[in-house]
Amino acid sequence: MHNEHKMKIFACRKSKPLAEKIAKALGTELGKSEVLEFSDGEFQPSFNESVRGATVFIVQSTFPPVENLFELLLMIDAAKRASAHTVIAVMPYFGWARQDRKDKPRVSIGAKLVANILHAAGCDRVMTCDLHADQIQGFFDFPVDHLYASNIFLPYLRDKHIENLAIAAPDMGGAKRANAYARYLQCPVIICHKSRERANVVGSITAIGDVAGKNVIIVDDMIDTAGTLTKAANVLKEMGALSVKACATHAVFSGNAYERIAESALEEVIVTDTIPLSSDPAKDTGKITVLSVADTFANVIEKVYNYEPISDSFIF
């Protein structure tokens, strides 16, 4: 059954490179849109073609700054006011996802607030990848398609045929993900336990599991300042790991992340293009491998558009 509503794909500014790859994988081109900027920093996105009655996909990862989220909201609002039939936010990286609960008194639950704002803007559906916490899907009052980068990472790792492989979780929170990877690759799991001094500052790390003589791959959903990751890698190397690599979906890479990775025991850091990497050649450590999520998103976009099931698009 083919959808009677025309499919149109648009991109906000920061996610344009990924959106172009998604459109190419779908055999189409990005819709025409532009952003008018005012001298005080305010901006106004607009569609330069009709979206009346269309199923509109808007691609934007909402990594900081706030402009990226707000530009997406304005685009959704513009599409709704231009009589789009359905507006789907394709958010490869869903920002504010670390604020998924009250972990201390008097804090916001940012992920829930973002879900509410997307709904208020007129969003009908969200498509995202590797949420920081699975339960965030329940914050939305409309469908969420939650994709996993394991679809890309696992075949890549399997095809390397790494001997004496072990999968490591950088902290207790990542144990479930590490266990799923280890089950697929049929190898043991190592859990790193960390004590945090304060946000973005790690105290000490210890590893639980058989590390000596293993080629270890640390798996995580994101790398922010790379503090936890590089500390864990160095500890694993000190404990006798033959090599340490890392796999993480979202390359936030804030602060001194690039420098930390360059100076660490990590041999390779495999990430996706949900967030564009720095184009500064000085940041190129030679250790970073980027795998694209474009085909994965294109596949699910096509299935959602044609009302086809997407459950067979997942390894786990």
Query: Pairing relation of β-strands 189-198 and 201-208?
Result: antiparallel
Ranges of H-type helices in the chain: 16-25, 66-81, 110-121, 150-158, 175-185, 227-238, 257-263, 294-305
Catalytic annotation present for 160: no
Q: Are 285 and 262 in contact, with CB atoms under 8 Å apart?
A: yes
Decide if 71 contacts 82 (C-beta within 8 A).
no
Query: Side chain identity at 299, as an amino acid letter?
Result: N
Alpha carbon distance 194, 170 (integer Å): 8
The whole-angstrom separation of Cα 150 and Cα 130 is 9
In angstroms, the CA 158 to CA 124 distance is 37
Q: Cβ(227)–Cβ(202) under 8 Å?
A: yes
| Residue of 14, 80, 194, 231 with catalytic role | 194
Q: How many CB atoms lie within 10 A of CB 105?
A: 5
Are 277 and 288 in contact by the 8 Å Cβ rule? The answer is yes
CA–CA separation, 307 vs 135, rounded Å?
Answer: 24
Q: What amino acid occupies position 262?
A: A
Token code pair at residue 104: 């201390």
CA pair distance 139, 115, nearest whole angstrom: 6
Residues serving a catalytic function are: 194
